[in-house]
Amino acid sequence: MFKKILIANRGEIAVRVIRACRELGVQAVAVYSEADRDSPHVWLADEAYPIGSAPATESYLRGDRLIEVALRTGCEAIHPGYGFLAERPAFAHAVESAGLVFIGPPGDAMAALGDKTEARRTVKKAGVAVVPGIDWPVADLDLLKKKAEELGYPVLVKAAAGGGGKGMRIVWAAEELAAAFRGAAHEAEFAFGDRRLYVEKYLESPRHIEIQVLADNLGNVIHLGERECSIQRRHQKMIEESPSPALTPDLRDAMGRAAVAAASAAGYHNAGTVEFLFRDGRFYFLEVNARIQVEHPVTEMVTGIDLVQAQLRIASGEPLWIRQEDVRWQGHALECRISGEDPWNNFFPSTGRIEVLRVPGGPGVRWDSGVVQGSEVGLHYDPLLAKLIVHALDRPAAIVRMQRALEELVIQGVATTVPFHLAVMDEPDFRSGNYDIRYVEAHPDLLRRDPGDLARRAAAVAAALLEEAARLRALPLAPPDSDATGREWRRGASLTRPWRGSWTGR
């Protein structure tokens, strides 16, 4: 096992990796931009170093700075988290060239799967069904138009390099193609540095189901079952669950075997996710996310396997310690992504200071967060603040538990997606498992204002404010130490601070 690693990320995923490191006895080195100087991942890490100004292009996307910090601090490996440089083959190769271990798939496998058209070619050779479309990137609008006409509208124009809904446009008619081409290319270039596109048939109203895989460096590959990710808005996942209410045991087994075949064909190592579209009892390969996923906790809850620790163990050279026949799934898990967005205002980003934060607890409730009370929420990064995850004996019990946890959760100071999640948990189609990727569009009244519900929420917030005021009055004054600004202090408690490095190399 490694002795020390660098985490090339921020927010809740950085906190998640730090916790996994601590349980394995691995030292964690954090990096931070000027905007994240007082973020939880900074003071939870063993060491923390500044890497640049707030824009990601001047900090978290500067692979050269990240590698230099890792080398200067004696790290053996780099964990990329998700987003930023996590799926950049060039960064993985640079890490390896520097004599460090990239905690993720090999650069070559990432390149094969990160390029969506090459991924289609790779898995087709392994006998995995793909969505009808073209297997080569297209840079010419006229050629794209010809291919779209061959497939028949509607079609989906997609970025060849990347995922997460970036560089993607649905095209319902030929006259919409030119604008979609320009918009998708621009967004893809901004997000991935690559404006290449391809086109595939748009399957109307499918379900989005993904399979978690683990693969060691010896060629052993297993799957850990599925996650249903169909509750989406603008191709961004909002709620995930495991298992999917749509799959039978036979379908689960077939999709799992297809995911293993796809990962094996690409020479994949470490943790990854094979994504499928599912419709009318058939599934089609969509893409492989060559990284840990935001929604990985629901798999952890139903299998009992710590996926981040698994990443570290595999990257350090350990063989898989579990066989496919040993994987067991128990109960049902749900995850709600809590984002700094205002659902009453078309999910417009919300910024400000988190003045009050009351986190739910109790049996089967998990809170993965990158913010604390007092955190500043800005516009520089993804609006994800935290993930609320619950686990229960079955799906109905998990829904009830999530409702209870959401009602306990209080975040004051910025608007969040909590009202949206509460509305979904109470909606009949969701409760029955009858939904697909157009669920949000098909339920425009989800966020109708219910005066009774708003009154209950207002009462909960008022109670939390009174509770918080009383708690703050009981806290001692912070010592005359500038480093204590914005920190919590309690009588008799000790505050462990990381080593704050002064590395400012460029």
Mean pLDDT of 327-336: 97
Domain membership of residue 488 (yes or no) is no
- Residue 280 CA to residue 248 CA, distance in Å, equals 13
Say yes or no to pLDDT of 407 above 50: yes
Tell whether 265 and 356 lie within a shared domain. yes
- For the stretch 415-436, pLDDT in tens is 999 999 999 999 999 999 999 9
Higher pLDDT, 224 or 496: 224
Mean pLDDT of 361-390: 96
Q: Which of 185-189, 208-212, 268-272 has the lowest mean pLDDT?
A: 185-189
- For the stretch 184-208, pLDDT in tens is 999 988 877 888 899 999 998 999 9
Tell whether 276 and 380 lie within a shared domain. yes
Higher pLDDT, 485 or 273: 273
- Residue 354 CA to residue 415 CA, distance in Å, equals 10
- For the stretch 33-53, pLDDT in tens is 999 999 999 999 999 999 999
Say yes or no to pLDDT of 242 above 80: yes
- Taking CA atoms, 344 is separated from 65, 106, 449, 450, in Å, by 40, 43, 9, 12
Domain membership of residue 326 (yes or no) is yes
Say yes or no to pLDDT of 500 above 70: no
Domain membership of residue 347 (yes or no) is yes
Higher pLDDT, 64 or 487: 64
Cβ atoms of 396 and 421 within 8 Å: the answer is no
Question: Structural domain tally of the chain?
Answer: 3
In one-letter notation, the amino acid at residue 299 is T
Mean pLDDT of 319-347: 96
Domain membership of residue 466 (yes or no) is no
Tell whether 307 and 420 lie within a shared domain. yes
pTM assigned to the model: 0.86
Say yes or no to pLDDT of 487 above 90: no
CATH number assigned to the domain comprising residue 145: 3.30.1490.20
Domain termination residue (choose one: 154, 170, 201): 201
Tell whether 197 and 216 lie within a shared domain. no
- Residue 482 CA to residue 300 CA, distance in Å, equals 39
Domain termination residue (choose one: 172, 201, 230): 201
- Residue 286 CA to residue 128 CA, distance in Å, equals 10
Domain termination residue (choose one: 431, 448, 465): 448
Tell whether 247 and 296 lie within a shared domain. yes
Tell whether 270 and 358 lie within a shared domain. yes
Cα angle value 189/192/195 (rounded, 5°): 35
Tell whether 213 and 345 lie within a shared domain. yes
Tell whether 156 and 172 lie within a shared domain. yes
Q: Active-site residue numbers?
A: 291
CATH number assigned to the domain comprising residue 55: 3.40.50.20
Higher pLDDT, 190 or 262: 262
Tell whether 316 and 180 lie within a shared domain. no
Tell whether 420 and 285 lie within a shared domain. yes
User: Rounded to 5 degrees, what are φ and ψ at 149?
Assistant: -65, -35
Say yes or no to pLDDT of 273 above 90: yes
- Residue 6 CA to residue 47 CA, distance in Å, equals 9
Domain membership of residue 467 (yes or no) is no
Domain membership of residue 14 (yes or no) is yes
Q: Which of 96-105, 397-406, 462-471 has the lowest mean pLDDT?
A: 462-471
Domain membership of residue 254 (yes or no) is yes
* pLDDT at site 109: 87
Mean pLDDT of the chain: 89
CATH number assigned to the domain comprising residue 352: 3.30.470.20
Highest mean pLDDT among 80-89, 182-191, 299-308, 488-497: 299-308
Q: Closest Cα to residue 18, out of 54, 45, 36, 39?
A: 45
Tell whether 54 and 149 lie within a shared domain. no
Tell whether 319 and 339 lie within a shared domain. yes
Domain membership of residue 461 (yes or no) is no
Tell me the pLDDT band of 484, cut-offs 50, 70 and 90: very low
* pLDDT at site 42: 97
Residue 277 belongs to what domain range? 207-448
